[in-house]
């Protein structure tokens, strides 16, 4: 019985195409990218350039992959420390109440997606329908605050906790309830006055 010997390449076809695409995106040039991706040391540079050009021209995966890799590099080159800080700060500023509005019956309903701000879209990490309505999950605010601290170097300088407080943080439950009742009363008076006008 004859033995069949298969010479399996080190890389699958997809891995070689991916490596070629990445090398092209990293500006290695047609000839060098093709030779490295395919471990191809035969032929002249002109012949290899022709093979590489044909691979890009005839293979949709390679064309699309190179385009996507170029786009990714443009995005990465444009990201700055300030961009990251702004993005994290926007996540911190979003409240779960931003996603809802009061309906005519006094209940909460999800705002239309057209009314979502870019910050709200960035902070939302999931939504699902529950028996009580729509559940919206937003990114962890403490995680975002810690990221901001790390980027700004606060966590490296000391191990002290950064405390975020508001003007209402030291008030008692009774004081907070009083403020809410005053706000509801003011809103009712303003509504009554606007109806009389």
Q: Please, which pLDDT band fits residue 184 given cuts at 50, 70 and 90?
A: low
Residues 6+ apart with CB under 8 A from 16: 9, 37, 38
- The secondary structure of residue 11, as a DSSP letter, is S
How far from each other are the two terminal CA atoms of the chain, in whole angstroms?
Answer: 102
Does any domain span residue 182? no
* 154, 97: one domain: yes
Among the three residues 41, 56, 78, which one is the final residue of a domain in this structure? 78
Does any domain span residue 186? no
pLDDT, averaged across the chain: 78
Residues in the chain: 197
Residue 50 predicted with pLDDT over 80:
yes
Global pTM?
0.41
Say if residues 52 and 33 touch (Cβ distance below 8 Å). yes
Does any domain span residue 87? yes
Which of 8-12, 73-77, 93-97 has the least mean pLDDT? 8-12
What is the Cα–Cα distance from 99 to 116, expressed in whole angstroms? 7
* 86, 55: one domain: no
Residue 143 predicted with pLDDT over 90:
no
Range of the domain at 27: 13-78
Backbone angles phi, psi at 126, to 5 degrees: 175, 155
Say if residues 132 and 100 touch (Cβ distance below 8 Å). no
The pLDDT value given to residue 20:
92
Domain count for the chain: 2
* 17, 29: one domain: yes
């Amino acid at each position: 019985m004859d033995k069949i010997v298969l010479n399996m390449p080190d890389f699958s076809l997809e891995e070689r195409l991916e490596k070629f695409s990445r090398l092209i995106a990293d500006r290695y040039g047609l000839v060098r990218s093709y030779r490295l991706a395919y471990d191809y040391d035969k032929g002249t540079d002109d012949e290899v350039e022709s093979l590489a050009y044909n691979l890009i021209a005839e293979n949709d995966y390679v064309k699309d992959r190179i385009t996507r890799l170029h786009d990714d590099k443009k995005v990465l080159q444009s990201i700055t420390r300030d961009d990251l800080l702004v993005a994290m700060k926007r996540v911190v500023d979003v409240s779960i109440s931003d996603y809802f509005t009061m309906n005519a019956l006094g209940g909460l309903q999800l705002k239309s997606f057209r009314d979502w701000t870019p910050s709200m879209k960035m902070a939302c990490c999931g939504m699902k329908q529950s028996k009580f309505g729509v559940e919206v999950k937003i990114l962890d605010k403490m995680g975002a605050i810690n990221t901001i601290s790390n980027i700004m170097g606060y966590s490296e300088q000391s191990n002290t906790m950064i405390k975020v407080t508001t003007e209402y943080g030291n008030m008692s439950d009774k004081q907070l309830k009083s403020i809410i009742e005053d706000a509801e009363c003011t809103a009712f008076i303003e509504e009554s006055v606007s109806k009389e006008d």
